[in-house]
Amino acid sequence: MLYRSGAEALADFTQQGISCFTLIPRHLDFDQLVTFEALIQLMDNAFRQTCSADPDNRLDGMGKRLIEIAERDHLLRPGMTVVDLGAAPGGWSQVAAEKLAGKGRVVALDRLEMAALPGVTFIQGDFTEASVLAELKIHLGKYPLDLVISDMSPNITGIGVTDQARGMYLAELALEFSVERLNSDGNFLVKVFQGSGFEEFLRAMRATFSRVITRKPEASRGRSSELYLLGMGKRR
Catalytic positions, please?
Answer: 191
Secondary element (H or E) of residue 174: helix 160-181
Q: Which of 93, 236, 90, 230 is nearest to 171 (CA)?
A: 230
CA dist 106 and 110 (Å) reads: 13
66 C-beta neighbours (distance < 10 Å), count: 26
Q: Which residues contact 4 (CB under 8 A, 6 or more apart)?
A: 33
CA dist 88 and 100 (Å) reads: 19
